[in-house]
Amino acid sequence: MSTPSCMREVLLMTLMVEVVSGNMTKRVRCLLDCGSQRSYILRSTAEALHLKSFSSEKLTHSLFGGARTESKNHKRYSMRLRPVGRSTGYQFDFLDQDIICGVIPRIPKGPLLKELKGHRIWISDMGDDYPEIELLIGSDIYGQILTGEVIQLNEGLTAINTKLGWTLCGEPKELNVQNLEGAQSMLITNLHVQNMKASDMWDLERIGITDEVQTFSKAVEDQLVQEQFLKGLSRYEDGRYCVSLPWVLKFPPNIASNRHIAEKKAICHYTEIKEIGLL
């Protein structure tokens, strides 16, 4: 899954939910992302709710562009979610994560409210501020909370009803999301943020310029090299082994043939040797 890329006019599915843990209740902002295989909760949120982990899972995240992170352990928590202001809740499991994603705008208040009111739709995540995403619902949970109710709005948006409340998504025709300072919304292709060092800020790969081999972790790279070696290995009848050249790229480059140049040089050398009487 990738570093999010900025887009100006695409709204993502967000909503406010309540997380219940024992006698503690916390209202958090949630992102629905069926492109993620797992669901995550911020580690800081899990600690604030005094959640107790009952297991862990070791994962390697695949990022946008084919990159992979190193394997990392994520603690697993079980918690109860419910819509804001309601008592009915649902029990789900989440993995902890230091950072889920970057800034994602909320749906601004405006003419859209009138249309939503006409459909009797109440959106829990609206406003001009940008609360942090503390919860991500991935494909392991996403299908369980859908109700099947979908309404196409006039503004080019789609309203989707879930067991945790209504949410909107899509590219609005005239909806004006303001004051985001160049980051109006995020196209989340992968929500996992790798640990960043100061030197990473001027690395070329941070702006998408990478060698193909650099998009893999060391373990994956070693595995690919081994597979390439075994695929190009053969043995002659006399017992000798033949190994193909170890190309760095997945496929060998298209190298032009220099056979005609070699033949011309051979003819020239033969002529010179013959003229001096060595043949």
HSE at residue 213, side-chain half, CA atoms within 13 A, is 11
Composition of the chain by helix, strand, coil, percent to 5? 25, 30, 45
pLDDT of residue 248: 67
The per-residue pLDDT for 187 is 41
Q: What is the pLDDT of residue 204?
A: 53
Are the C-beta atoms of residues 127 and 106 closer than 8 Å to each other?
yes
Distance CA 77, CA 43 (A): 10
- Determine the distance from the C-alpha atom of residue 83 to the mean position of all C-alpha atoms in its chain, rounded to a whole number: 27
> How far is it, in rounded angstroms, from Cα 254 to Cα 256?
6
Are 176 and 108 within 8 A, CB to CB? Answer: yes
- pLDDT attached to residue 253: 65
Cα 215 versus chain centre, distance: 14
Taking each continuous run of H as one helix and of E as one strand, the counts in the chain are 5, 14
Residue 26 and residue 215 in contact, taking contact as beta carbons nearer than 8 Å = no
User: What confidence score (pLDDT) does residue 211 get?
Assistant: 53
The tens-digit pLDDT sequence of the chain (279 residues) is: 343 444 456 888 999 999 998 888 999 999 999 888 899 999 999 999 999 988 988 887 877 777 777 788 899 999 999 999 888 889 999 999 988 888 888 887 777 888 888 899 998 888 888 889 999 999 999 999 999 999 998 878 899 999 999 999 888 776 554 444 444 434 444 444 455 555 555 555 545 555 554 555 677 777 777 888 888 888 888 888 888 877 765 556 677 788 888 888 888 777 777 777 666
Which tokens in the block code for residue 57? 């899972």
Distances (CA, A) of 210 to 4, 196, 207, 216, 261: 17, 17, 9, 11, 35
Nearest to 250 by CA among 230, 217, 221: 221
Encode burial over 172-205: b for 16+ CB neighbours within 10 A, e otherwise. Answer: beebebeeeeebbbbebebbbbeeeeeeeeeeee
> Which pLDDT score is estimated for 249?
59
pLDDT score recorded for residue 2: 40
DSSP assignments along 207-253, one per residue: GT---GGGGS-HHHHHHHHHHHHHHTEEE-TTS-EEE----SSSS--
Q: SS3 for 135? A: strand
Residue type, 115: E
Distance, in Å, from the CA atom of 172 to the CA atom of 105, rounded to the nearest integer, reads: 14
> Degrees (nearest 5) of the Cα angle 75, 2, 102?
75
In angstroms, rounded to a whole number, what is the distance separating the alpha carbons of residues 65 and 129? Answer: 31
What is residue 88's predicted lDDT score, i.e. its pLDDT?
A: 85
